Amino acid sequence: MKTDKWNPVLALGLLMAAVLACNATTANISSLKLSSDEEGKNETKSFKPGDKVYAIAQISNNPGKVQTKFRILYDDVEGENSGVLVEGAEKTLEVDGSRPAIFWITLPNRGFRNGRYKLEVSMLTESGEQKDQETATFDVAGY
């Protein structure tokens, strides 16, 4: 008779475990690289005026949809405060499944500054909860 008492408790425990497993995601940013080409074959951390800066974030273990938010921030640039967003250098992309999310920006021929910049990628669930974040720095010279 004692086992009859435990059956509802065991069933409830299994149900809660199943619900939690469905809501938990192991989606993550498994890698982030900076490149001068969209395929990521020419990894680099140094750019000059007119170059395209490609950021390739590999989204892994993603069973559904997530958003990847790319931002470029000043890191060590004369006359600019570290951590401040570079105007116009922000983009959010929706990613369905496990695949690369690719962001790019073309450095203007003038009006930019030499120095070190930080690229920040955040991965958000559909409800807006941040699940992962990666950063990389790159240098700009030639202005």
Domain boundaries, the chain: 25-140
Strand ranges, E, within the chain: 28-35, 46-47, 52-60, 65-76, 85-96, 99-106, 115-124, 130-140
The SS3 of residue 123 is strand
> Model confidence over 43-75: pLDDT tens digits?
999 999 999 999 999 999 999 999 999 999 999
In the prediction, which pLDDT does 23 show? 46
- Encode burial over 10-36: b for 16+ CB neighbours within 10 A, e otherwise: eeeeeeeeeeeeeeebebbbeebbbbb
Q: Are 52 and 89 in contact (CB under 8 A)?
A: no
26 CB-side CA count, 13 A: 3
- CA pair distance 12, 139, nearest whole angstrom: 55
Q: Per the structure block, which two tokens stand in for 89?
A: 């250098």
pTM: 0.81
DSSP H helices, 1-143, are: 2-23
| Strand partners of residue 34 | 55
Using 50, 70 and 90 to split pLDDT, how confident is the model at 19? very low
More confident of the two residues 5 and 66: 66
Q: How many Å separate Cα 118 from the centre of its chain?
A: 13
25-140 adopts what CATH topology?
Coagulation Factor XIII; Chain A, domain 1 (2.70.50)
